[in-house]
Chain A
Amino acid sequence: MSASSATHAVARAAPPVRTGRVFVAFVARDLRVVFRKQPTAFLTRVLVEPLTRIFVFSYVLPSVSGRGQQPGGSSFSTVLAPGMLATSMLFAGVLGVAMPMIGELTYPKTVQDRLLTPAPVWAVGAARAVSGAVQALVSVLLVLPIVMFVHAPGQAPDIHVANWPLLAVVVLFGSVLSGVIGLWLGTAIQPAHVSALFGLVMMPAMMLGCVYYPWASLAAIPWLHMLVLLNPVMYLSEGLRAVLTPGAAHLPLWAVLLALVGGSAVVGALSLRSFRRAAMD
Chain B
Amino acid sequence: MSEAVIAATGLRKTYRTRQGEREAVRSVTLQVRSGEFFGLLGPNGAGKSTTIGMLTTLVQPTGGSAHIAGFDVVRQSREVRRRISLVHQSNAVDRELSVRENLEFRGRYWGMGSRGARARADALLEQFGLGDRRDALFYQLSGGQLRRMLIARALVHHPEVLFLDEPTVGIDPHSRAHLWDVLRELHGRGQTILMTTHNLDEAERFCRRAAIIDAGQVLACDTVGALVARAGGRVTVSATYDGPVDLAALPAGSSAELRRADVREATVHVVTEKPEGLLGELIALGSATGRQLLDMTTSRPSLENAFLELTGRTYRA
Contact with A along B149-165 (1 / 0, CB 8 A): 00000010111100000
User: Do B178 and A25 have beta carbons less than 8 Å apart?
Assistant: no
Residues on B with C-beta less than 8 A from A6 are 127-128, 182, 185-186
Q: Is B94 an interface residue (CB 8 A)?
A: yes
- In the complex, the answer to whether A280 meets B60 with C-beta atoms within 8 Å is yes
Shortest distance in angstroms between B60's beta carbon and chain A's nearest beta carbon? Answer: 6
Interface residues on B, range: 35 or more
Q: Nearest residue in A to B85 (C-beta to C-beta)? A: A116
Q: Which residues of A contact B88 (CB under 8 A)?
A: 108, 112
- Find out whether the CB atom of A281 lies under 8 angstroms from the CB atom of B15: yes
Once the chains bind, are B129 and A1 in contact (CB under 8 Å)? yes
Does B296 have its Cβ within 8 Å of any Cβ on chain A?
no
Are B181 and A3 interface neighbours, CB within 8 A? Answer: yes
- Contact A108 B90, beta carbon cutoff 8 Å: yes
Q: What is the distance, in angstroms, from B35's C-beta to the closest C-beta of chain A?
A: 8
Q: How far, in whole Å, are A269 and B129 apart by their CA atoms in the complex? A: 45
Determine whether A45 belongs to the interface, using a CB cutoff of 8 Å to chain B: no
Q: Mark B114-150, 1 if CB is under 8 A from A, else 0.
A: 1000000000101111000000000000000000000
Q: How far is A108 from B150 in the complex, measured between Cα atoms in Å? A: 14
On whether the beta carbons of B91 and A108 are closer than 8 Å, the reply is: yes
Give chain B nearest CB distance to A71 CB in angstroms.
48
Closest B residue by C-beta to A110 = B92
Complex CA distance for A118 and B109, rounded to whole angstroms: 8
Given A14-B83, A14-B158, A118-B82, A113 and B185 touching (CB < 8 A)? no
Residues of B within 8 A of A10 (CB): 158, 186, 189-191
Q: Do B82 and A11 touch across chains, with their CB atoms under 8 A apart?
A: no
Of B100-108, B232-240, B276-284, which binds chain A?
A: B100-108
Within 8 A of B (CB), among A1-59: 1, 3-18, 21-22, 25-26, 28-29, 32-33, 37-38
Question: Is A225 located at the chain interface by the 8 A CB criterion?
Answer: no
Is the CB–CB distance between B178 and A110 below 8 Å?
Answer: no
Report if B230 contacts A (CB, 8 A). no
B78 touches A9 (CB 8 A): no
User: Is residue B194 within 8 Å, beta carbon to beta carbon, of the partner chain?
Assistant: no
- Shortest Cβ distance from B185 into chain A, in angstroms? 5
Q: How far is the CB of A13 from chain B (nearest CB, A)?
A: 8
Complex contacts, A112 vs chain B, CB 8 Å: 58, 88, 92
Chain A interface (Cβ < 8 Å from any Cβ of B): 1, 3-18, 21-22, 25-26, 28-29, 32-33, 37-38, 100, 107-110, 112-120, 280-281
| 22 interchain pairs, CB-CB under 8 A | A1-B126, A6-B185, A10-B158, A11-B34, A11-B160, A14-B157, A16-B82, A17-B110, A17-B111, A22-B110, A28-B105, A108-B92, A110-B93, A110-B94, A112-B88, A117-B109, A118-B110, A119-B78, A119-B109, A280-B59, A280-B60, A281-B50
